[in-house]
């Protein structure tokens, strides 16, 4: 289908950093899922890279895009971490609905279908998941619990079980209103803080978060202090709004 003559209904932004060959079966499976959701879909594969690294992801996603006009790529030297990648990917998305998911397979991509169904049927601004079962080990579970514990203390009115969970899907109007600025891991918390600020309607549902053995976690223990600093800054800003 020539999407140039038809509005894209759903854009799925896939954060592919250092996924390399693993992104190929992920994209193949995701395309099959999208075919059953809408005939006007788009994939935005984000393959931002660190200069001088041996990461082959950018070359792999270029080839995937050459083979399918519905695939768009974002490939830039990195000037930030996950938040920067997410912002660049979402800015490149053309859909009426914009979904974001990691490309490493830890989040079940089948849940994109449930997100898409809920946001349309209930006329919501955002739909997300929360991790009720996790296979990613003590270290990641511990960091996530600390994140969410601090988040709930400083922002008790946000009825969110797991700020960092994906996939997240939101309307284009909601995305524009959020005006995201974070370049690091804080971006998921920034989304939920702004959802509260603008009184947006959202829902979340439980998923199983899988383990991966192809790489170690990108989230280091020092990220907790970075996260806490950002939370305090955003909490202080709330008093001046």
Tens of each residue's pLDDT in the chain, 241 residues: 445 547 999 999 999 999 999 999 999 999 999 999 999 999 999 999 999 999 999 999 999 999 999 999 999 999 998 999 999 999 999 999 999 999 988 999 999 999 999 999 999 999 999 999 877 666 667 777 777 788 888 888 888 999 999 999 999 999 999 999 999 888 999 999 999 999 999 999 999 988 776 655 555 656 667 777 887 888 777 766 6
Cβ–Cβ under 8 Å, residues 97 and 169: yes
Cα–Cα distance, 49 to 167 (Å, whole number): 22
Domains of the chain: 3-238 (3.90.550.10)
DSSP state of 41: E
Supply the pLDDT for residue 156: 83
Please say whether the dihedral angle defined by the alpha carbons of residues 177, 241, 157 and 223, taken in this order, is positive or negative.
positive
pLDDT of 1: 45
CA distance 75 to 95: 19
**CA atoms of 139 and 137, how far apart (whole Å):** 6
Q: Which residues 6+ apart lie within 8 Å of 135 measured at CB?
A: 208, 209, 210, 211
98, β-bridge pairs: 11, 170
Evaluate if pTM is beyond 0.85.
Answer: yes
Q: Rounded to whole angstroms, how far apart are CA atoms 224 and 230?
A: 10
Question: H or E segment at 2?
Answer: none
Report whether 47 contacts 61 (CB < 8 A): yes
CB atoms under 10 Å from CB of 137, counted, come to: 10
β partners of residue 126: 170, 202
């Amino acid at each position: 289908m020539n999407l140039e003559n038809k509005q894209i209904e759903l854009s799925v932004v896939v954060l592919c950093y250092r996924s390399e060959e693993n992104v190929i079966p992920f994209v193949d499976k995701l395309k099959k899922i999208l075919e059953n959701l809408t005939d006007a879909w788009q994939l935005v594969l984000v393959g931002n890279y660190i200069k001088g690294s041996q990461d082959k992801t950018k070359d792999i996603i270029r080839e995937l895009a050459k083979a399918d006009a519905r695939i768009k790529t974002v490939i830039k030297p990195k000037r930030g971490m996950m938040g920067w990648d997410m912002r660049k990917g979402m800015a490149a998305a053309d859909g009426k609905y914009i979904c974001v998911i990691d490309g490493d397979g830890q989040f079940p991509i089948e849940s994109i279908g449930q997100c898409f169904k809920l946001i349309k049927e209930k006329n919501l601004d955002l739909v997300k998941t929360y991790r009720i079962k996790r296979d990613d080990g003590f270290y990641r579970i511990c960091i996530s619990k600390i994140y969410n514990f601090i988040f709930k203390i400083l922002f008790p009115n946000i009825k969110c079980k797991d700020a960092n969970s994906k996939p997240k899907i939101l309307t284009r109007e909601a995305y524009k209103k959020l005006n995201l600025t974070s370049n690091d891991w804080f971006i998921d918390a920034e989304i939920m803080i702004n959802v509260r600020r603008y009184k947006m309607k959202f829902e979340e549902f439980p998923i199983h978060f899988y383990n991966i053995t192809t790489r170690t976690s990108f989230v280091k223990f020092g990220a907790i202090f970075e996260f806490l600093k950002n939370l305090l800054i955003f909490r202080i800003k709330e008093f001046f709004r």
